[in-house]
Amino acid sequence: MENIKNLLRPLEIKKAPAYKWQELALEIVMGLIDGNNKKSSIFKCCKENAHFAKIAFEDCKELNKLYSHYFLKVYNELKKPKTETN
C-alpha cells in the first residue's frame, strides 16, 4: 500500500540551469568541500570565464585540494595576462 502512495504522489521537478556556466558553477560548488562558503565568487568566476573555471577545478581535483581558496587562487593566476620577457 505504501508503494502505491509513492507512485501517486506528484513528482518533484527540478528546474535546469538557464546557462551552461551555471551548471558548471553548481558542479564546482558541490565538488569543493567549502564550496557553499564562496558560492557567489564561484558563480562570478564561471560567468566571467567558464573555461578558466573548469581548468582551475580540474587542477583542484588532480591535486586533491578541494577548497574554494585554492580554486580561486588558481583561477586568478589563469586570468592574469601573460607578459613576455626578453
pLDDT tens digit string along 47-71? Answer: 999 999 999 999 999 999 999 999 9
Q: What is the pLDDT of residue 54?
A: 97
Assessment of whether the complete model's pTM goes beyond 0.85: no
Residues above pLDDT 90, as percent of the chain: 71
pLDDT by residue (tens digit) across 2-29? 677 777 777 777 777 789 999 999 999 9
Q: What is the pLDDT of residue 84?
A: 62
Q: Do residues 49 and 76 make contact, with C-beta atoms less than 8 angstroms apart?
A: no
DSSP class per residue in the chain: -HHHHHHHSPPP-PPPPSSHHHHHHHHHHHHSTTGGGGHHHHHHHHHH-HHHHHHHHHHHHHHT---HHHHHHHHHHHHSPP----
